[in-house]
Chain A
Amino acid sequence: MVRALVFMGAVAGCAVDRVPPPTRPCATDQLDLEVAPPDGDFGDLVGDPDLWCGHPPQGGAPFSPLRVRVTGPDVFADGVDLDMSVVDNQTGEELGHTALALGLTCANVGDSAGTWVGSEAHLRYTGFALDTLGERSGTLTLTVAPRTADTPVVTRSFDVALVVD
């Protein structure tokens, strides 16, 4: 290939630089994990602890659909294992827990530019009826770990108040 490129330069009288592959502007040494509640924005849970939970469209255990975005190195491009849980602050009871694999893509525009973003993730409150969850306060803890490496692992916790429609 190198020989061919040199020859091309000789024919055309100039060197040809191929278009470089797009860089991933998301890759950074800084680490962060943010979460957005359904129909909310990233950062909303910091100022307002209300976290909606309801019945999923297909039935089953109550759920909170969440969006996460991650700041960190390029290894997050291979996806993450996401662990989500809500623990009741008063009783210590685990109200909800879901672990799932989530693919991420590097956002290059908008509010999320420079971070790794994915689809929604659904936190399930298995074993709880919806009407028993309302007005319970707890700690939402999220942990992401890269799927193809041991580190970095990023954990963030948020105080939440479950809100049932």
Chain B
Amino acid sequence: MIALALLAPSAAACGGFFCNNVPVDQAGEDIVFSVDADKQEVTVHVQIAYEGDAEDFAWIVPVPEAPELVLSSDRMFRELSWRTAPQFQLEHRERDQCEGGINSGGYAEVDGAASSSTPSAEDGVEVVAEQRVGPYETVVLLADTSAELLTWLQNNDYILPDALDPVLAPYVAQGSHFVALRLAKTDSVGQLPPLAMTYPGTALSIPIQLTSIAAADDMRLGVYILGESRAVPESYLHVQVNELAVDWFSWWDPKWEQAITIAANEAGGHAFATDFSGSSGLMDKVLYRPGQYDIPRLAAAADPYAFFDELLTQGFVGEPALLALFRTFLPLPAEAVAAGIDEQSFYNNLSAFSKYVDPIPFDAAAFAAAIDEQIVAPLRLAQTTFYRYPHLTRLTSSVSPEEMTVDPTFVFNADMAQDVPLQHNAVLEYLCGAGGDANTSERRLVLSDGRAYPLPSQQWFWDRGITEHEYLLDNVTTYALVIEATSDSGEPELLFDYRDEAAAEAEALFDELGQRACAGCSSGTASGGAVALLMLLGLARRRRS
């Protein structure tokens, strides 16, 4: 089991700001920014998800200045994704006593050897630097026109389509820098490691217009920003999502991201929601602890089997970059392939295939050095980043290609409330009366802002085969409860505020159903008429939808 986890197959996806010649619809993009105000430096970590032939891979991104390039950590993205995912806790509470008790509360969680060359100029494009970074051959270019830039890249075997020209154009000006990546010819493609770029400046921006050529509808955009205070969108609007749109009853998917998608669309398509804002301490010691890895011990392994065991012992479990390194340092022999042995089986059980393994020349020291460079060093760098910056903000949006017309920019705002907690709570009250049955009693959902919504009994939903979430969505008038413009100082400028109306709607619903008085009773149940009304109203809603 552990061995299988060590070399899990990589996911098929194409990521980064742009991928290859055949645009692959990109379903999501995650980016980590940090800003060193003292050094006036921005570091951006970008996850690059790609599966395909190495020669088909090309990636390009504009940067304001020539950057320093290093490998980043895939594990950082995974850990951030689940550690900063909003959590939705539904507390089940009896009003009076329910016979036999009630079911426990539902709980759902969203994921969630460098060298520079001498600069040269050719056909309007200047090569500022060339560098090998892990599996990437990188080049930093200066270009005056998008046509010259694209021609240079195509002439140098970067397989990029002509359609890229117009979307590159806004980023081209005198002195514009571009980072272009391709995979080293000798490397096989495993899961590609993220890349970190550090350049002078303090402004944060995502060149989303480049992504428009290869993005899926409603592409999820996850942005993590590290700094001294909370970060907010500047060029995009900010939304507060209506928690009634959350599926409080699902253990596995609270449908938070879907709610953000619709809320962002209500805001015109250019908006972010804040998933989390608070201390970066939640990443303490998560990625790297001094002494955690012993590279010399790996380098001293006598053979591939001992090396593999040492990898397991030191906890290199689930590192996607390992597969690519195994392909380089212990390539699957053609004889094994001919015998029908697949890569995953081979690497996860080397001792079973010793007749293929033993003849392969094995350099434990070189393999260990590559692990140090491509896995350990990025983890150490990422961990240091979280120690350096006290505040972490996670913003999520959803953008379709036709909406990628304005680049999102972000700023820090120390004046707004700094904390946006991960935890969201609601209460499900069972209106059982004294000794009523929990399954057949009416209920009501109370959100953290005090809005309360009547719900038929659990039995009612079982009988009809619909969910509470589907039922409650009929009361969601707007997914964005608040739409506001945020900036680098002061409170947000409110543009749309539906909080009072939403509260009034919830109250009106109770008035209509005659439940308000009942909910305040010490032991009574709802009237029979109200129960029937509640049930029939739900039935009518289902027919309407």
Contacts and interface: CB of A to CB of B under 8 A. Distances in A.
A47 interface: no
A108 B493 CA distance: 12
Interface string A65-83: 1010000000000010000
Contacts of B485: 67
Contact of B62 (A5, A21, A60): A60
B406 A120 contact: yes
Contacts of A19: 475, 477, 505, 508-509
A105 B170 contact: no
Nearest to B65: A59
Interface in A1-41: 1, 4-5, 7-8, 11-13, 16-17, 19, 21-22, 39
Contact of B530 (A12, A102, A106, A111): A12
A136 interface: no
Interface string B513-545: 010000000000000011011001101100110
B505 A129 contact: no
B90 interface: no
B406 A100 contact: yes
Interface in B167-202: 169-177, 201
Contacts of A22: 477-478, 498, 501
Contacts of B64: 55, 57-59
A126 interface: yes
A121 interface: yes
B529 A104 contact: no
Given A58-B63, A103-B268, A1 B540 contact: yes
B477 A8 contact: no
Interface string A94-106: 0000101111111
A47 B38 CA distance: 38
B512 interface: yes
Contacts of B483: 105, 107
A152 interface: no
B403 A120 contact: no
Given A57-B64, A120-B236, A121-B406, 14 more contacts: A8-B532, A8-B533, A8-B537, A11-B536, A19-B508, A57-B409, A58-B205, A60-B172, A79-B268, A79-B269, A105-B495, A109-B497, A122-B235, A124-B170
18 contacts: A4-B536, A8-B532, A8-B533, A13-B529, A22-B501, A58-B407, A59-B177, A60-B170, A61-B173, A79-B268, A102-B405, A103-B267, A104-B268, A107-B495, A110-B493, A120-B409, A126-B170, A127-B173
